[in-house]
Amino acid sequence: MGGWVTGNFGFSYVLNQSVGSLLVERLPKTIILAVLALVLTVIVAIPIGIYQAVRRNRTFDYVATGLSFIFYAAPTFFLGLIMIEIFSSYLGWLPPEAPQSDGVVPIFQDFDAMILPIVTLALLGIAGFSRYMRSSVLDNVSQDYVRTARAKGASSSRVLWRHVLRNALIPIITLLGLSLPALFAGALITESIFNFPGMGLLFWQAAQQSDYPVEIGVVIITAFATVIGNLLADISLAAIDPRVAL
Phi and psi dihedrals of 243, rounded to 5?
-65, -35
* Measured distance CA(26)–CA(30) in Å, rounded: 7
* Tens digits of pLDDT across the chain (246 residues): 666 666 677 787 777 788 778 888 888 888 888 888 888 888 888 888 888 888 888 888 888 888 888 888 888 888 888 888 888 888 888 888 887 777 777 777 778 888 888 888 888 888 888 888 888 888 777 777 777 777 777 677 777 777 677 777 777 777 777 777 677 777 788 888 888 888 888 888 888 888 888 888 888 888 887 888 778 777 777 776 666 555
Burial state string for 211-220 with b = 16 or more CB within 10 A and e = fewer than 16: bebbbebbeb
Name the superfamily (CATH) of residues 2-245.
Answer: MetI-like (1.10.3720.10)
Domains of the chain by residue range:
2-245
If we measure between CA atoms, which residue out of 46, 206, 194 comes closest to residue 115?
Answer: 194
